Structure 1
């Protein structure tokens, strides 16, 4: 399995930030459809940037002048122009987000707290034999979970995803794709169970899911949920 390098990570972030031209974006979208690891990286960046991408406020005109003055002088090492543009854009968005949050805070009455965005949750699901592996990312603000299979084969059965919280009772989150990424919206009554420390698991089940919401197949992959 090919691992992602720093250029792949930067490319995924640039795509989410909208810094690529039309041709490059099309190339990235084609790769997302065929490369589960890269698709998961794109989704992870999307979750990281989500609190900041709701709008844009131009930073003060003097900001970049101050930053450039504070930076050390360039050394003999070459720095990629594209990477400089990427990090400059990232910093600009961070400043914009801070300005937006500041405005919202000032507009809120003193007795109404400003809710803080919840950190994305992730999980790596696998088996002792390595025969099955998946990644999961969850946005608690929207209830959206992305399941990306890396290696998953359930034969004539269907992979069903379960959340197992501290009480040990497995609750079905539905059937997921075995070959490509699946986006699901976790039902409102189950979102309380999707939290750091809980367990995600996959079992092979008949078409339509486990009868009566009770797993019939063995756990072929599982993993703990953690904060990103």
Structure 2
């Protein structure tokens, strides 16, 4: 059995979290089939994430406080009732999302000399009632994002993803799948907003997306982008 190096462990973790590009993913899949040690490391990472699919649990009080303090205050620039509800809802984050983000940050192996420009970005999107939970990972070097719904129900509508940077303006990144992973290319125009601290949010919208690029549905899940 191969002795796992830090690079091997990092590769295994990034494979399970969906952070690899197509070439790296192909390498990982090949190693799973030929290297029992690497395959065992992949399984170990999966076992670490199993608790995320279990019953809802409350995060430690100090984690909740830090998350609440780090979120921006809701903006009142849009005074319509529906819009006001949308902005207020963005300040919420579910216990599921908080726990998931904490596990990722604590268990993800950190390379010895990471590059600030290419470090993977993650976000755990959730709702206060625990009914919606989505994980997101963004590769800034490729401009691609992988979104994996854990639980999400938009009824007859479709989940639309929004990015809300420091200026507080919500910008659509497009409609995603609500029942399976979605890998999307973030447009060159939108990549400038994909920074640490920006918020991602999901609202239920028509199949073609929100009319006029303005959200019409309530926020089902939201989460802050962090750099691993």
TM normalised by structure 2 equals 0.54
Question: How many residue pairs end up in the alignment?
Answer: 141
1:146 aligns to what SS in structure 2? strand
Aligned-residue offset at 1:186: 0.5
2:189 aligns to what SS in structure 1? helix
Question: Cα deviations across residues 104-156 of structure 1 (Å, max 9, x unaligned)?
Answer: xxxxxxxxxxx975101000000000000000000011100001000000000
- Answer with 1 or 2: which has the greater Rg: 1
CA separation in 2, counterparts of 1:175 and 1:84? 35
**CA separation of 1:83 and 1:187: change in aligned 2, threshold 3 A:** same
1:41 corresponds to 2:23 = no
Aligned-residue offset at 1:83: 3.1
**CA separation of 1:84 and 1:222: change in aligned 2, threshold 3 A:** closer
Aligned-residue offset at 1:175: 0.3
CA contact (8 A) 1:40 1:148 kept: no
1:41-190, aligned counterparts within 5 Å?
Answer: 41-44=16-19, 46=20, 82-83=36-37, 118-190=118-190
CA separation in 2, counterparts of 1:197 and 1:169? 14
For structure 2, list consecutive stretches of 5 or more residues without a partner in the other structure. 1-7, 28-34, 42-114
CA separation in 1, counterparts of 2:195 and 2:129? 26
Question: Cα deviations across residues 142-179 of structure 1 (Å, max 9, x unaligned)?
Answer: 10000100000000000000000000000000000000
1:149 aligns to what SS in structure 2? strand
2:225 aligns to what SS in structure 1? strand
Partner of 1:6: none
CA contact (8 A) 1:131 1:151 kept: yes
CA RMSD of aligned residues (A): 3.6
CA contact (8 A) 1:145 1:186 kept: yes
**CA separation of 1:84 and 1:177: change in aligned 2, threshold 3 A:** closer
CA separation in 1, counterparts of 2:15 and 2:40? 20
2:192 aligns to what SS in structure 1? helix
CA separation in 1, counterparts of 2:198 and 2:155? 27
**CA separation of 1:39 and 1:117: change in aligned 2, threshold 3 A:** closer
**CA separation of 1:183 and 1:128: change in aligned 2, threshold 3 A:** same
CA separation in 2, counterparts of 1:184 and 1:128? 26
**CA separation of 1:40 and 1:124: change in aligned 2, threshold 3 A:** farther
2:18 aligns to what SS in structure 1? helix
CA separation in 2, counterparts of 1:123 and 1:162? 13
For structure 1, list consecutive stretches of 5 or more residues without a partner in the other structure. 1-12, 18-37, 54-80, 88-114
